[in-house]
Amino acid sequence: MTGIKKTFYFVLFVAMLCMACDQDTGQTPEVEEPHDQEVDFLFGADLSYLNQILDHGGIYSVGGEQQDPYRIFAEAGTQLARFRIWHNPLWTAEIYGRETPLYNDLEDVESSIGKAKSEGMEILLDFHYSDVWADPGRQEIPAAWREIESLEVLQDSIYQYTYKTLKYLGSKGLFPEYVQIGNETNCGMFFTDAPENFPKLNVCEGNWQNFKSVAKAAVNAVHDAAGHSEIKVIFHVADPENLDWWFENFTGSPNEVDFDIIGFSYYPLWHTAISLTQLESAVSRIKSRFAKDIMMLETAYPWTLEGNDDYTNIFGGQAPLPGFPYTIEGQREIMVSMSESMINAGGLGIIYWEPGWISSDMKDLWGTGSSWENCAFFDFEGNLHEGADYVNLLNNKYKINP
């Protein structure tokens, strides 16, 4: 046999041996080795409904054993608790036919922050600057401010309210680590049913300078209330496809606003302009372009099509995304996917919206129970399910250093 043939058969033998080594042996594949590099990243949850649910019969359990939900979330790896605050939400008591207690007002938020901090969580306080929900299409003026007619008075009102709220929380040892100025302010604030003489803050109609002047007053109040304490200020827009336009206008001169974090909502069943596979590059590009930290402030995904009460669910009518069925495993895996995209893009964190909104006798403006129980991290018996395990999976893979 010539040397060439010997070499050929030897190479063929090695190749066949390697192919045999690669065949399925029936053993479980090895888990990917953990990354050596430490990662600064926050796993968060919006827990704004917890107090109201507990007051109205909601029960949370782990393995069939009833437990405090704040502790459940902390032990599941939640590092950051987000709470919304409304100016004077009288309706949250009126829907029960009474005058008190209110929910998501200062007193309720004080209670929530205290419980979350006692479990070791940091706090993100979300100022809606409204008596009710604020979102891209709804930015209602607080009833107490509807008679305002000058921009200067509005600036002072938002400054005083923000400052007094934070100073009060600080006096109780409950100062938040993060403050969000407005909620999903895609078109600005205070434009829903605004009186004719109310200052114009709808940025979709070009009123950027008015909006920025009011935003600046709120940011000044945050820093004045914090004193020398470190605090991060966030502005929040729904759907990452809007980030370029919004922050290009918001960060431009004149009247530049000082802030730290770009926040966005990303519900992949709704916000389809940027797909899951495009999320990492989109976030990385925005972070680089504006030289700001970036955080996903809201997201969610269903684990079932079923419901646990008569309140129609918000999600479930849409087709599931490819590779992510409406199962507990599908919910967990999409959270792993989005979290890894944020981590790889250099994002600061990811917050799941209302993972504790289980069925109970709780009421809101549209129904009794929950329109979100099929997106929660609890089954219909109130037990924590494995959808929440994405945090532990990623903590095992990455050296998370909050």
Q: Which residues contact 28 (CB under 8 A, 6 or more apart)?
A: none
Place of tokens 């960060």: 251
Going residue by residue through the chain (402 aa), what tens digit of pLDDT does each one get?
Answer: 434 333 333 333 333 333 333 333 333 333 355 666 788 999 999 999 999 999 999 999 999 999 999 999 999 999 999 999 999 999 999 999 999 999 999 999 999 999 999 999 999 999 999 999 999 999 999 999 999 999 999 999 999 999 999 999 999 999 999 999 999 999 999 999 999 999 999 999 999 999 999 999 999 999 999 998 899 999 999 999 999 999 999 998 888 899 999 999 999 999 999 999 999 999 999 999 999 999 999 999 999 999 999 999 999 889 999 999 999 999 999 999 999 999 999 999 999 999 999 999 999 999 999 999 999 999 999 999 999 999 999 999 998 876
Place of tokens 């649910």: 53
pLDDT at 206: 97
Do 236 and 297 form a contact (C-beta atoms < 8 A)? yes
pLDDT at 14: 36
pLDDT at 32: 54
> What value does the CA radius of gyration of the chain take, rounded to a whole number of Å?
24
User: β-pairing, 61-62 with 65-66?
Assistant: antiparallel
pTM for the predicted model, two decimal places:
0.91
CA dihedral (280, 286, 291, 296) positive or negative: negative
Class of domain 43-398: alpha beta
Identify the three-state secondary structure at position 66: strand
List the catalytic residue out of 122, 140, 184, 340: 184
List the catalytic residue out of 122, 140, 280, 298: 298
Long-range own/partner contacts, residues 360-364 (CB < 8 A, 24 or more apart): 360/53, 360/56, 360/57, 360/58, 361/56, 361/57, 362/49, 362/52, 362/53, 362/55, 362/56, 362/58, 363/56, 363/95, 363/96, 364/95
Instruction: Enter the tokens of residue 308.
Output: 């646990």
Domain boundaries of the chain, sorted by first residue? 43-398
Q: Summarize pLDDT for 252-279 with one digit per residue, the tens.
A: 888 889 999 999 999 999 999 999 999 9
Query: Using CA atoms, how far apart are residues 276 and 271, in angstroms rounded to an integer?
Result: 10
| Nearest Cα residue to 380 out of 354, 359, 401 | 359
Q: Which residues contact 401 (CB under 8 A, 6 or more apart)?
A: 38, 39, 40, 41
Place of tokens 């090695």: 14
Q: What H or E segment, with its residue span, contains residue 339?
A: helix 328-344
Q: Summarize pLDDT for 290-346 with one digit per residue, the tens.
A: 999 999 999 999 999 999 999 999 998 899 999 999 999 999 999 999 999 999 999
Identify whether 184 is a catalytic site residue. yes
